[in-house]
Copies of this chain bind each other. A is one copy, B any other.
Amino acid sequence: MATSQLNSLIEALRRLPGVGVKSAQRMAFHLLQHDRTGGVALADALAAAMENVRHCERCNTFSDTPLCDVCSDGSRDARQLCVVESPADQAALERSGGYRGYYFVLMGRLSPLDGVSTRELGVQALMARARDGRVQEVILALSFTAEGEVTAHVLQQALGAIRGPDEQPLQVTRLARGVPAGSELEYVDLSTIAHALVDRR
Task: Report which A residues bind B (CB closer than 8 A).
Answer: 1-6, 8-9, 11-13, 15-18, 23, 25-33, 35-36, 38-50, 52-53, 61-65, 68-70, 86-88, 90-91, 94, 107-108
Bound-complex Cα distance A61 to B87 (A): 41
Bound-complex Cα distance A123 to B8 (A): 30
Bound-complex Cα distance A91 to B7 (A): 12
Q: Are A41 and B18 in contact (CB under 8 A)?
A: no
Q: Are B32 and A26 in contact (CB under 8 A)?
A: no
A40 and chain B: residue at smallest CB distance: B50
Across the interface, A12 reaches (CB within 8 A) one of B25, B27, B42, namely B42
Q: Is the interface of A mostly helix, strand, loop or mixed?
A: helix
Bound-complex Cα distance A178 to B188 (A): 48
Across the interface, A15 reaches (CB within 8 A) one of B8, B12, B38, B61, namely B38
List 19 additional contacts besides A1-B94, A2-B69, A5-B48; criterion CB under 8 Å: A2-B70, A3-B53, A3-B62, A3-B64, A5-B64, A6-B62, A6-B87, A8-B48, A9-B53, A15-B35, A16-B31, A17-B26, A17-B27, A17-B30, A18-B27, A26-B88, A29-B88, A31-B49, A36-B50
